[in-house]
Every structure is written in C-alpha cells, then in structure tokens.
Amino acid sequence: MLKTSKKVIGIALAASLLSTGISVFPNNAQAKSTVEITWLGSGQPQEKQAYEQVIKRFEKSHPNVKIKYVVMAAGEQYNIKIKAAMASGNMPDIFYINPENVKSWVGSGKVLNLSKYVKKSDINNIWKPAISKYRFDGKNVGKGDIYALPKDVGPFAFAYNKTMFKKAGIPLPDKDKPYTWKQWIAISKKLTKDTNKDGKLDQWATGLNINWSLAPFVWSNGADWLNAAKNKVTITDPNFEEALQFFVDQTNKYKITPDSKTAATMDTYQRWLKGQEAFFACGPWDVPVFNKLPFDYDLMPWPAGKTGKTATWLGSLGFAVSKTTKHAKEAVEFAMYLSTEKTGQKLVSDLNIQIPNIVDMATSDYLKRKDKPDNKKEFIQIAQDYGRSWPYEYTYTREWYDEFYVGIQAVLDGKVSVKQY
C-alpha cells in the first residue's frame, strides 16, 4: 500500500516537473521536444489498421509528434465516453463529432475553432457540403467558422437489383433522370410477384425503413421538417403530408412491399440481401456487403416527387480538436492530414469504407475503378450537388425530430391517418 502511493507520488512529481520544463531525466532532449496527440476514435478493425498506417506516415514526416490512437467500437459507448470526458475536462486532443452535435458542443466551448489554422487552399478540394456541416457562426450551422474536418461523407443513394430487372425484361433505370413517383409505382408493381406460383408473394419492389428513407420522398416533394430559417416545424405542409401518405401507400395501397406480417418473419433488409426486393437504400458503408451478393446491383437517383428533382441525405462524421488541447497547431495539422492527405484517403477508399474526401480523387481514381457499383457517380453527385443534412443538424437537439417518429408505426399500419397523425 505504502509502496504504491509512493510510486504514484513519484510519477505525479515527475509529471509536474516535466510540465514546468524542469529537467528530471539526464537525457531529456526527446521528452522535451516530443508532443503527444491523443486521438480517441471508433470503428472496425479494418479501419483501425488503415489509420495505423496513416499515423506511421504522419509521425515519419513530423518527428516531433507522437500520436496516441485509442479505438473504441462505434456507437453509443463512444458518445458516452466523449460526454464523460467533456464533463471531467479531460478531453482527448482529437475526437469525432457528429454534425448534429456541432451547435451544442461548440456552444458549450468544447471544440476548437479551426478557422485560424485552416487555409482556404487546404480545403478547396474537399466536398463543400461536408465542410458546411461543421461551420457555425454562433447562430446558424452551415456558415461561419470551421469547427471540424470531415472524416468521411456518407451519400445515401438508392440501389436496384439489376439481375431482377433484366430477368423481368424491364429497361434499367436512367442514371440521371429520376423516376416520377407514378413511374416508380408502375415498375414496382411489375416487380412485385409470386414467382413460384404457390399463391404467395415472394418478390417485392422494396421495403424501406421510414426512419432513414422518408426524407428523400419529403424533400423531393418540396417539403421539409423545418422552414428555411430553421426555427419552425413545417410537417403540416400539404406537400409533407402527401409525401408521408405516399410512403405509407407503398405498403397499404400499392402493396409493393412485404406487409407487416411478412416483414416480421424476415426483415426487409435481409430480403433485399436475398434478392427478393428490387430497390433498397445504399450508402458507401453497404458496398462491401452488397458487392458479395449473388446478384448484380447498381445505383440510381431516388424517385422524385412533384419538384421533379431527386433528393437525399448526405451524412458525415468529423474530426474535432479539443478547445483545451495543449498542442493546437499539431492537433489541427494531424486532423487535416487524416481528412485530406492523399495516400491515406486512397487507403480508406480502396478498403471501400468510404468514398474519398478529396474531390479530384473521387472524380478520377475512384470513378475509374472497375468494382461494383458501376454508377459510382451517383455517390459523387450526392456529395457534390444534392445531398442534404438531417433537419436536426440545424438545431441544438434532435429530440423534436425523434418525437415525430414515436407513433409512426400506427400510421404505417394504417391504424392512424396521416392527417390525424
């Protein structure tokens, strides 16, 4: 017991001497000049290995910087850990920030303003909509100074089962001209059938999850959850109601999805994987799994409502630097390296974890690749042109948005009307 506490005191003393710059080790040149940057990340082992290579190269070109990379599983555990770190004031130098937290985390003074360190030329070739997610002027997200750099962008595309189309003799969807809802329903009806003639449907057009896939219908119909000033909920807009009705009708009126009883025996994602559905959502994170499916698939624009323009969500995760970091310059330099350095970006995009953050690389090397999906350009177009942020990224919390979905199952089941809801 006594021994242990002595040791602790010893370390604490050494640490305090070090931080005052007093020499405690005979050969301390290294200790004095080396800066340690802690990065708390999350992700799959594959991703971790890729980033370890990136770290090695960074350390080689920055001999005075040592990166301490700590990786956790992605998800709720990570958020809990970061929130605890924020509360204790003991923050890692670099951590992930979800765009939905920009307003609250910047507002509470946890995140370093990067604008002073980031030159325009540093980010010229990075997806602008992704950078925008991390801009905040103290009032609105989307403009002002930069508080994080994108780790990735997640264009939420629409996929179709090419093999099923060919088998049915239906012309493949146009790469750039979205189906109108009417056209999409007509084709969907053709693709919903009882293929083995046993009297039961075994192939459907789709089976979309409303939490992820309602937005493309709402947005392309000229509606949104919030007004342009982002201070008023607008879900009673007739265009919004129409889009929600159309979503519900996919199951209850047009019957182009498995009904809830059928979906309960196997979920609609599994059915897509088994080749039982013609259309499904697809982000870059799905590609490693989809590329191993026994059928061919490709990307297309989401069907468009009355605006005639396709719309979808563009996700992202960002690298933030702690406002309390002792090594702001080095931490920002490393965050920039992670976000924009070419060899590292090639590494993570070749792993099919994400598309490159660098526009030039995405529109050249990545597009030229021969692996599936053929229409990789759809991902690019979403990242470059028409991908949108979730409505709650503009607000302090997402509670109001989650509230919208609380009773939605009754609407999907046809027990509560859209109007009532």
Binding site for Ca ion (CB under 5 A): 194, 196, 198, 200, 202
Between 191 and 358, CB nearer to Ca ion: 191
Determine the Cα–Cα distance for residues 367 and 373; give it in Å rounded to an integer: 10
Comparing CA positions, the residue from 145, 85, 140 lying closest to residue 110 is 85
Between 60 and 200, CB nearer to Ca ion: 200
Compute the least distance from the CB of residue 202 to Ca ion, in Å: 4
Return left, alpha or beta for 378; rule: phi > 0 is left, psi -120 to 50 is alpha, else beta: alpha
Spatial neighbors of 210 by CB under 8 A, at least 6 apart, are 247, 405, 408, 412
Return left, alpha or beta for 403; rule: phi > 0 is left, psi -120 to 50 is alpha, else beta: alpha
Which token pair is 9?
A: 């005191």
Residue closest to Ca ion when measured from CB atoms: 202
Between 133 and 271, CB nearer to Ca ion: 271
Compute the least distance from the CB of residue 263 to Ca ion, in Å: 16
Between 168 and 226, CB nearer to Ca ion: 168
Compute the least distance from the CB of residue 156 to Ca ion, in Å: 31
Q: Looking at the chain, how many residues does it have? A: 421
Between 42 and 192, CB nearer to Ca ion: 192
Between 194 and 371, CB nearer to Ca ion: 194
Compute the least distance from the CB of residue 198 to Ca ion, in Å: 4
Compute the least distance from the CB of residue 260 to Ca ion, in Å: 18
Comparing CA positions, the residue from 155, 212, 188 lying closest to residue 375 is 155
Q: Is the sign of the CA dihedral 6, 34, 348, 101 positive or negative?
A: positive
Q: What angle do CA 260, 239, 141 make, to 5 degrees?
A: 95
Coil/strand/helix, residue 299 = strand
Compute the least distance from the CB of residue 288 to Ca ion, in Å: 31
Determine the Cα–Cα distance for residues 339 and 276; give it in Å rounded to an integer: 38
Beta bridge partners of 9: none
On the CB side of 153, CA atoms within 13 Å amount to: 32
Between 200 and 292, CB nearer to Ca ion: 200
Coil/strand/helix, residue 418 = coil
Determine the Cα–Cα distance for residues 68 and 55; give it in Å rounded to an integer: 9
Determine the Cα–Cα distance for residues 393 and 233; give it in Å rounded to an integer: 14
Between 72 and 201, CB nearer to Ca ion: 201
Terminal C-alpha separation, the chain: 64
Between 197 and 368, CB nearer to Ca ion: 197
Between 196 and 420, CB nearer to Ca ion: 196
Compute the least distance from the CB of residue 250 to Ca ion, in Å: 20
Burial 329-350 (b: 16+ CB within 10 A, else e): ebbbbbbbbbbbbeebbebbbe
Compute the least distance from the CB of residue 374 to Ca ion, in Å: 30
Between 194 and 385, CB nearer to Ca ion: 194
- Rg of the chain (C-alpha set): 25
The answer to whether the beta carbons of residues 93 and 331 sit under 8 Å apart is: yes
Compute the least distance from the CB of residue 203 to Ca ion, in Å: 8
- Which residue in this structure is represented by tokens 């790469």? 175
Compute the least distance from the CB of residue 373 to Ca ion, in Å: 29
The answer to whether the beta carbons of residues 338 and 330 sit under 8 Å apart is: no
Compute the least distance from the CB of residue 271 to Ca ion, in Å: 13
**How far from 257 is each of 3, 122, 273, CA to CA, in Å?**
69, 46, 15
Determine the Cα–Cα distance for residues 241 and 243; give it in Å rounded to an integer: 5
